[in-house]
Structure 1
Amino acid sequence: MKESLYTIPLMDAFKADDECPFCFIERELEQHAISFILGSAYMEDDIRMETDETGFCRHHYKMMYDYGNRLGSALILSTHFKKLNKDLKEQIKAFSPGKTSLFKKSKASENPLSDWIEKKEHSCYVCNYIEKNYDRYLDTFFELYKKNPEFLELFKKSKGFCLHHFKELAAGGQNKLNDKQKAEFYPILFSLMEENMKRLEEEVTWFTEKYDYRNKDKDWGNSKDSIQRCMQKAAGGYPADAPFTADR
C-alpha cells in the first residue's frame, strides 16, 4: 500500500498502547496547531486573516494562554479584536428587538445578534484544523484496515477507543466498507470495546477497594491511573495532562 501523509502517524498512534488511538491523534493535531499558530505563523498575513475571521473557542484560548507566547497571543488578538469590534458594531446597529408576546417566547434563531454570537462561540481556528485533518485520518484508518495486514493486527490488539471515537468508527464503517468487510469489522470493533470497557470497570473498582483496610497491602495492579483512563474512555481527551507549553 502506498503510504500517505497520515499513514505513519496513525500507525504510531496504534503502537502507543493508548486507551484510544484517535484521542492520541487529536492531541498531536491540537498541540501542533497551537505550536504552529504561536510559533512564527502569527506573522503571516494569510494566517492572521484566517484567525481574525474565525477566532478561537474557550478551550483553545486557554491552551494558547498556557502555551506561554504572550506577544504572539497579543498580536493575534489585536487584529482579531479589530475585526470583532467592527462586526459587533454592525450587528448592534442592525439590531431591532422583537415585540413582546404573551403567547410566544422569543428564540435565539429569531434574534440575529444572538445568532451571530452563537456562530462566534463555535468558530475556532484550532478546532477547524483538527476537524479537517481528523477526517483524513479516519479515511486512512479504513484504507489501512482493508489493505495493510500489519495495521489490522495493531487494530485487533488495541485497547479499543473512547466512546466518541467509537461512534465515529461505527458510523464510518457503514459508508467505507462493503458488506463482507462489515461482517468482519464490526465483531472485532465491538469485542474490543466490550472487553476494554470491562477491563476499565474492574481497574477503577479495584482502585476503590484498595481503600478498604483489608486490601491496603495488596498490589494496586493497573488501577492507580484508572480514574483518568476511565474519564478518557467515557468522553475522550486526557484529563490528567499537564498544560501544553512552549518549553516542552
Structure 2
Amino acid sequence: MKDTIYTIPLTDAFNSEDECPFCYITRNLEQDAISFILGSAYMEDDIREQTDKMGFCKEHYKKMYDYGNRLGTALMLHTHYKALEKELKAKMESFSPSQTSFFSKFKKTKASTDSSLDALPHWIKAQDKSCYICNRIDTNFKRYMDTFFYLYTHNPEFKQLFSNSKGFCITHFGDLMTLSETKLNTSQKESFYPLLFAKMEENLKRIEEDLSWFIDKYDYQNQDAPWKSSKDAIPRGIQKLVGTYVQDPPFKEN
C-alpha cells in the first residue's frame, strides 16, 4: 500500500497493535495540539484571538499545566480572562430577573421564554464545552475517519490491516457505526458490519479473559504461574471502554 501524508498516521495507528487505532490517533492529535499551542503559536495574533474566545476545557487546562510552559499558559489565560470579563459584563448588564409572586411558587415550573433570563445560564454552560484543543482535535479527527472509510473501500491492503486489528474502544466503535451509514453503500455494509462486529466480540472477550486471569493470579495457588498477557489488563480494559490511556505519564515539554 502506497502511503501519502494523509494516510501515514492512519496506517501507523493500525500497525501499532493498539487496542484502538483511533485512540492512538486521538492521543497523537492531542499531544500535537498541546505542543502547537504552547510552542510559538500562542504568540500569533490569529491563534490568540481564537484561544481568547474559546478558552479550554478543564481536562486540557490540566494537561497544559502539566506540559510545563508556564509563561505561554499565563499569557493565554490573561488575555482569555480579559475577553471573558468583557463578555460576561455584557451578559450580566442585559440580565433581568423574573418577577416571582407568592402563588407562582406553587405553580409547575415552566421553561423561561425571556431571552434575557436564558442568555446568561446558556452562556455559562457553553463555557464548559468550549475548548480550542478539543475543537482542533475534532476537526482533524473527522478527516482521519473519512480517510479510514476511503481506504477501506479502495485499498485491499488497508482492509487487511483492519481485519488484523484488535478492534476499537466502545466510543470509536460508536463513531464508526454512525459514519458507516453514510460512508458505505449497501453492498459494502454487508461485508463491513460482520467484520466490525466480529472484531469487537473477539477483542472484548480477549480483554475479559485477561482480566479474569489477572484476578486469578492473586490466588496463592497461581502465584508461580505466568502472567500471560494479563499484566496490563487494567489499563487496556479501561481504554477499551472509554478510550483513555490511564497508564500514560503527563505529557511534558521536551
TM-score, normalised on structure 2? 0.93
Matched, 1:82 2:86: no
Secondary structure, aligned partner of 2:224? coil
Shift of 1:111: 2.9
Alignment of structure 1 residues 129-208 onto 2, 5 Å: 129-208=136-215
Residue matched to 1:57: 57
Structure 1 contact 108–115 (Cα < 8 Å) conserved: no
Greater Cα radius of gyration, structure 1 or 2: 2
Residue matched to 1:10: 10
- For the residues of structure 2 that align with 1:177 and 1:4, how far apart are their CA atoms? 22
Matched, 1:104 2:111: no
Q: Which runs of 5+ in 2 are unaligned?
A: none
CA RMSD of aligned residues (A): 1.6
Residue matched to 1:68: 68
Residue matched to 2:244: 237
- For the residues of structure 1 that align with 2:140 and 2:112, how far apart are their CA atoms? 32
Structure 1 contact 159–196 (Cα < 8 Å) conserved: yes
Shift of 1:66: 0.2
Shift of 1:157: 0.4
Residue 104 of structure 1 aligns to which amino acid in structure 2?
K
Of all paired residues, the percent bearing the same amino acid is: 57
- For the residues of structure 1 that align with 2:111 and 2:165, how far apart are their CA atoms? 46
Structure 1 contact 68–245 (Cα < 8 Å) conserved: yes
The one-character-per-residue Cα deviations of 1:201-220 (angstroms, maximum 9, x if unpaired) are 00011111110111111011
Residue 76 of structure 2 aligns to which amino acid in structure 1?
I
| Distance of aligned partners of 1:106 and 1:127 in 2 relative to their CA distance in 1, 3 Å threshold | farther
| Distance of aligned partners of 1:208 and 1:160 in 2 relative to their CA distance in 1, 3 Å threshold | same
| Distance of aligned partners of 1:225 and 1:92 in 2 relative to their CA distance in 1, 3 Å threshold | same
- For the residues of structure 1 that align with 2:99 and 2:246, how far apart are their CA atoms? 46
Structure 1 stretches of 4+ moved >4 Å: 1-4, 106-110
Secondary structure, aligned partner of 2:87? helix
- For the residues of structure 1 that align with 2:13 and 2:66, how far apart are their CA atoms? 25
Residue 42 of structure 1 aligns to which amino acid in structure 2?
Y
| Distance of aligned partners of 1:106 and 1:70 in 2 relative to their CA distance in 1, 3 Å threshold | farther
- For the residues of structure 1 that align with 2:99 and 2:167, how far apart are their CA atoms? 53
Q: Which runs of 5+ in 1 are unaligned?
A: none
Shift of 1:239: 1.2
- For the residues of structure 1 that align with 2:179 and 2:212, how far apart are their CA atoms? 33
* Partner residue of 1:220 out of 213, 218, 227: 227
